[in-house]
Amino acid sequence: MEQPERAIKLRREELVEIKRLYETVMTFASHGMFYRSGRIIGDRLIRSAGTDLGRIKESLIKGGWVSDISFEGDTITAASSIEATNSDSPTCHMLRGILAKVFEERTGKDVYCHERKCLSKGDDKCVFVIDTEVL
């Protein structure tokens, strides 16, 4: 039975708690699952916004993923990622997956998205770098 498309909202606290639950059971393996989940979300984002970075920015802000985001070549800077928590390591795995999917569609190449700085670690913003050389 096909259902009409519907959207749900998660509060930031709920998303953080869900991620914490997965991390307690699966530790670092959960990060890959969050990344892959982000790629699925990125797929939907591309279907609605295309690969135009202005429209992607608008969709990420409107969707609540970030309060602001800028794209400069292979570097993406995001303010107030919804995934940010207190941590010793980067936590924005779903956003990283979304960005990887967008840049794969834009470039036609496999990419990897590294989170070099993260609000979770005390940095002022999250900084992601798109890499096509690691694959």
The 10s digit of each residue's pLDDT in 70-94 is: 999 999 999 999 999 999 999 999 9
What's the confidence (pLDDT) of residue 1?
A: 80
Cα–Cα separations (whole angstroms), residue 18 to 13, 22, 23, 55, 74: 9, 6, 9, 28, 30
Query: Cα(132)–Cα(108) distance, rounded to whole angstroms?
Result: 11
Prediction pTM value: 0.94
pLDDT one-digit tens code per residue, 2-33: 888 898 999 999 999 999 999 999 998 999 99
* Structure-block tokens of residue 1: 């039975």
- By CB atoms closer than 10 A (0-12, 13-18, 19+), residue 134 is exposed
pLDDT tens for 108-119 read 999 999 999 999
Domains and CATH numbers, the chain: 12-131 (3.30.1380.20)
Indicate whether 135 pLDDT > 60.
Answer: no
Q: What is the mean pLDDT of residues 39-58?
A: 97
Q: Is 131 helix (H, G, I), strand (E, B) or coil?
A: strand
- Res. 134: pLDDT tops 90: no
Which helix or strand (DSSP H or E) is residue 23 part of? helix 12-26
**DSSP sequence for 28-87:** THHHHHHHHHHHHHHHHHHHHHTT-HHHHHHHHHHTTS-SEEEEETTEEEEES-TT--S-
